[in-house]
Chains A and B, each alone.
Chain A
C-alpha cells in the first residue's frame, strides 16, 4: 500500500509564534495561547482512487460536491427550459403532456432547492472553505466526510433513476403534499415517489455526516487565536446554516419515512378517508395538514440553510473588494444567529390558507415580520460597507451588487407574503413563484457565481477571464431580473401557479405577450450559464496565473503554503491568528490590508482597532 498516515508534523508548544518569521523576537503583545493538542493525523492517499475518488481531503470532497451539485443544477435548468417552453408557447414541444409538465415542475423544484443549492453551499463551499478559513488541516472526521459525499452521490443517482422508472418521476410538486402525492391522480405516484422519498432520506443521512463535521470542525479545530468573533462571516453563515440543517432535516426524514409507510404499508399518517373513482380507499383518520407542518418545519429553515451561507459569503466578498472592513461585524454575526433561531418559529407562514387553525395566522405573521428586522440590518451593513470604500468593479463585485438588488427585491415581496392577510390573495399565484425565485433562487445564485469567480484563483491557481465573466454576469442579472420582476404582476391579475396551461381564461389572455417574453428571457439566462463552463475550461488551459493572495485578502484560506493548497493546507506549522479578517485600509498601515496572521507588534504604528 502506498497510502499512509503521517505523523511527522512536529508538535511544539511555544509561548508565542508568528507566521513567516519576518518579525523580530515578538514582545508579549503578540502572545497567543500555546497549542494544547498535537496536529491532526491525516490520511494521505497516493493512488488515483484514494486521491480523487474515495478521497478524505475536504477540499477534494468540496469539489466533488460542487461538481455533482452543478450536474443536478444543469438538469434542473433544462427542466426549467421545458417548463417555460410550455408556458410561453403552449404546444410547441409536441411531447409535453400535463403529466410531463408536473413532473418537470416537481423535479426542477426539488433539485434546485435541495440537491443544487443546499449541496453546493454546505457540501461544496462548506467543505472547501471551513478548514482553510478556521486554520485547520482538514475536517475533524475526514472518513465520515468522504462517506457523506458518497451518500449524496447515491441520493442523486436514485433521484435521477426516477426519470427512467415506469410512470416516471413524481409530479406531486416539490412540496409533496399528501394525499395527492401517493394517489394515482398524480403522475409518478408509484415508483417515482418512492424513489424521491428514498433519495431524500439518503440525502439527509449523508448530509448529517457532513454537517456534524462542519460543526465540530468549527467548534473544535480552529487554530490558535481564531476566536469565534474573529471568524470570517462565511464561516458564521455556514455554521449557523448547518445548525439549522441538523435540526430541520430530521423533520423531513420522518415525514419521508411516514409517507413511505403510507404508500407501501397502507398506514394512514397523512391519509384521511378518501373517495376515489367511486370507491372508498382503505385509509382513514390521517392528517394531510400534519405533513405540511412537518414539511415546512424543515422547509422554512431550509430557505435560511441556503440564504445564511450566501449572506456570509457575500459579506466577505463585498468587504475584500471594497477594500473596507465589513460594517458592523458584531451586528452581522448576531443577525445571522438571530435569523437562524427565528427561522424555526415562522414555518406556518407557508400555510396561512392551508386550512390550519386560522388563529395561528396572528402568531406566524408577527414572527415572520420580526425576521425582517435583522435581515434588513444585514442589507444596510452591506451597502454601508460600500460607503467610502475603494470599490473594485470586477466580476466578483458585480455579482455582489446583483445579489443586493435581487435580494432586497425578493425580501420586500416577502413582506407582502408574510403579512398574513396580504398573503390571502397572493398565495398560490405567480407572485409567490416570482418572490421565491428572486430571493432564494437568483439572489443565492448571484453569490455562488461571485464566490466561484472569487475563489477560483485559490482552487486552480488561475484567474477566470474577466471579460467573459462580465458577459456572464450581465446576461444573467438582467435576464433573470426581467424574468421575475414582471412575473409578480401575473400574480396580481390572479394567475395561479402550477397550471399546465390557461386556455382562454380572461386572467391569462392579457398576459400572453408577457409570458412569451419571460420564456425568451429564461432561454437566454439558461444559455448564459454555459459561458461560465466555457470560461472554466479555457482558464484551466490558458488562464492567467494568480499567485498567492491575488485579491489581497486577509483570511487564512489565502495564506496557505502552496496555491492551490495541498493536503494539510498549511505546511509545517498551522497559522496563528491575531485579528479579525477585515482589517482593510487601516490608517497608517503600509498596505491596504493586514492579514489575520499579522501580529500586533508589526502594526503598532497604525490605528488598527483591537479585535
Chain B
C-alpha cells in the first residue's frame, strides 16, 4: 500500500474519532462555560490547521514521490509566502489567546458576594469550614491544629468562633451562588477538583490559594485530588452536593460551629473531672 493512503486514513480517522467520540467532557455544572467554548474554538482553529498541514503533506507524498527522471524544484526562499504564513499564524494565535485571557480575567476576579469556603487538605482527606453569622472566616495556623481545634483556628480571633465546621469530605453548596474556594494544606500539595465545575487550583502548605465558581446545576459531584500528594493520592476523594436555597439552609442549620465544639469539649472535660471525683 502507498504510505500516503495510510497517512490519509490516520487523518480521516482522527477527525471521525473526534466527531463520534463517546468520551467527551462531563456535563458542565458551573458558570465556566466560556472555558468549554474556548476549547471548542481551539478545536476548530487548531484542528483545521492540523488537518490542513497533514493533508498537504499527504498530497505531496502522493504527488512528488521519487521518480528517476523527476527533478525537484530549486527555490531556497519565498519571502512573500513566508510573510503571509507568519501573519496568518499570528492572527490565528491572537484569535485563540484573546478569549483565553478574557476568561482568565474573570477567573481571577472573584465576585464580591461569593461565599468563602475554607477547604483544608491533608494526606489524605478533606474537611471544610464556612463563615458563621458574621460572614467572615477566622484566621488559622497549622501549629494550632489538635483534636480540640481541628481547623487550627486562632483562638483570639473573634471571627473564628461562629465558623461552621464540616469535619467530613462531603460538603453542600447552594445552587446559583458564587463560591470562593480558599485552599489550605497542612502538609503537601493537593488540588480540590470537580470535573463538572471545570475549575481547579493547588492547595499549597504555607499559603492560602483561591479560585471561584458558581454551581448552576443541583446534584452530587465527586471531588478528586488533582495534584500528586503521595501514595494515597488516587484515593483522596470527596463529594459536593449542590442544593437549592431551601435545602441548603436546612443543611447549614444542622452543622456545628466552632463555639459548639468548644462547649461540647468543656462539657466533656467537666464530665471527666466529675468522674475522677467519684
Report how far A543 CA is from B188 CA in the complex, Å: 56
Q: Which residue of B lies closest to A415 (CB)?
A: B46
Alpha-carbon distance A286/B206, docked complex (angstroms):
8
| Pair A511/B23 contact, Cβ less than 8 Å | yes
Q: A99-B231, A387-B60, A507-B195 are in contact. Are A496 and B82 (CB under 8 A)?
A: no
Contact between A185 and B188 (Cβ–Cβ < 8 Å)? Answer: yes
> Do A486 and B17 touch (CB < 8 A)?
yes
* From A329, A353, A393, A611, contact of B65 by CB (8 A): A393
Assembled-state Cα–Cα distance A185/B35 (Å): 34
Give the contacts of B5-49 with A (CB-CB under 8 A).
6-7, 10-11, 14, 17, 21-26, 32, 34-36, 38-39, 42, 46-47, 49
In the complex, A78 has a CB within 8 A of chain B:
no
**How distant is B264 from chain A, measured CB to nearest CB, in Å?**
20
A425 contacts partner chain B, Cβ-Cβ < 8 Å: yes
Answer yes or no: A422 CB below 8 A from chain B CBs: yes
Q: Is the CB of A582 within 8 A of B104?
A: no
B46 neighbours in A (Cβ, 8 Å): 412-413, 415-416
Interface residues of B in 79-127 (CB under 8 A from A): 81-82, 85-86, 89-90, 93, 96-97, 100-101, 103-105, 107-108, 122-124
CA distance A502 to B228 in the complex (A): 14
Q: Is the CB of B201 within 8 A of A355?
A: yes
- In the bound assembly, the distance between CA atoms of A506 and B46 in angstroms comes to 30
B103 close to A421 (CB less than 8 A): yes
- Interface residues of B: mostly helix, strand, loop or mixed? mixed
> Are A355 and B209 interface neighbours, CB within 8 A?
yes
State in angstroms the CA–CA spacing of A143 and B54 once bound together: 46
Q: Say yes or no for B251: interface residue by CB 8 A criterion.
A: no
Mark out the residues of chain B between 190 and 215 whose CB falls within 8 Å of any chain A CB in the assembled complex: 191, 193, 195-196, 198-207, 209
Assess the B72–A388 pair: CB atoms within 8 A. Answer: yes
Q: Does A398 contact B (CB under 8 A)?
A: yes
Complexed CA–CA distance, A170 and B122 (Å): 20
**Is A424 touching B198 in the complex (CB atoms < 8 A)?**
yes
Chain B 141-168 interface 0/1 with A at a Cβ cutoff of 8 Å (1 = within): 1110110000000000000000000000
The reply to whether B61 and A401 form a contact with Cβ atoms under 8 Å apart is: yes
Q: For residues 364 through 385 of chain A, which have their beta carbon under 8 Å from a beta carbon of chain B?
A: 365-366, 369-370, 372-373, 376-377, 379-380, 383-384
Minimum CB–CB distance for B181 against chain A, Å? 12
Task: Give Cα A275 to B224, complex, Å.
Answer: 22
Q: Number of B residues whose C-beta is below 8 Å from A?
A: 100
A391 at the interface (CB under 8 A from B): yes
User: Interface range on chain A: under 10, 10 to 19, 20 to 34, or 35 or more?
Assistant: 35 or more
Q: Are A362 and B3 in contact (CB under 8 A)?
A: no
* Contact residues in B for A325 (Cβ distance below 8 Å): 74-76
Q: Kindly list chain B residues whose C-beta atoms are within 8 Å of the C-beta of A490.
A: 23
Q: How far is the CA of A389 from the CA of B72 in the complex (A)?
A: 4
Report Cα–Cα, A485/B9, bound state, in Å: 14
Contact at B7–A405, with CB atoms within 8 Å?
A: yes
Q: How far apart sit A391 and B60, CA to CA, in the bound complex (Å)?
A: 8
Q: Does A499 contact B (CB under 8 A)?
A: yes
Interface centre among A365, A428, A501 (most CB of B within 10 A): A428
Kindly state whether residue B225 has any CB partner on chain A within 8 Å: yes
A592 within 8 A of B: yes
Which of A171, A324, A329 gathers the greatest number of chain B CB atoms within 10 Å?
A: A324
The distance in angstroms between the C-alpha atoms of A386 and B7, with both chains bound, is 15
Whether B85 contacts A377 by the Cβ 8 Å rule is yes
| Stretch touching chain B among A176-184, A240-248, A445-453 | A176-184
- Minimum CB–CB distance from A567 to chain B (whole Å) comes to 36
Contact status of A329 and B77, CB under 8 A, knowing A177-B189, A179-B188, A425-B200: yes
- Of all chain A residues, the one with the shortest Cβ separation from B14 is A485
User: CA separation between A426 and B35, bound complex, in Å?
Assistant: 10
Q: How far is the CB of A518 from chain B (nearest CB, A)?
A: 12
Given contacts A362-B105, A412-B46, 15 further A-B contacts (CB under 8 A): A272-B205, A273-B141, A274-B188, A355-B202, A365-B104, A369-B96, A390-B64, A391-B64, A422-B39, A422-B100, A486-B17, A492-B24, A493-B26, A587-B71, A592-B72
Q: Which residues of A contact B (CB under 8 A)?
A: 98-99, 102, 171-173, 177-180, 183, 185-187, 272-276, 278, 280, 285-289, 322-325, 327-331, 353-355, 358-359, 361-362, 365-366, 369-370, 372-373, 376-377, 379-380, 383-384, 386-393, 398, 401, 404-405, 408-409, 412-413, 415-416, 419-422, 424-429, 474, 478, 481, 485-486, 489-490, 492-494, 496-502, 505-507, 510-511, 514, 582, 584-587, 592, 607, 609, 611
By Cβ-Cβ distance, the 3 closest A-B pairs, closest first, are A494-B195, A272-B206, A185-B230
26 residue pairs of the A-B complex, CB under 8 angstroms, read: A179-B188, A185-B230, A275-B143, A275-B186, A287-B206, A325-B74, A327-B78, A331-B77, A387-B73, A390-B67, A390-B70, A391-B61, A391-B64, A393-B3, A398-B3, A404-B53, A405-B11, A408-B53, A408-B54, A412-B49, A421-B35, A427-B226, A494-B26, A498-B228, A505-B224, A507-B224
Could you list which residues of chain B lie within 8 angstroms of chain A, going by C-beta atoms? 3, 6-7, 10-11, 14, 17, 21-26, 32, 34-36, 38-39, 42, 46-47, 49-50, 53-54, 56-57, 60-61, 64-67, 70-78, 81-82, 85-86, 89-90, 93, 96-97, 100-101, 103-105, 107-108, 122-124, 141-143, 145-146, 183, 186-189, 191, 193, 195-196, 198-207, 209, 222, 224-234, 237
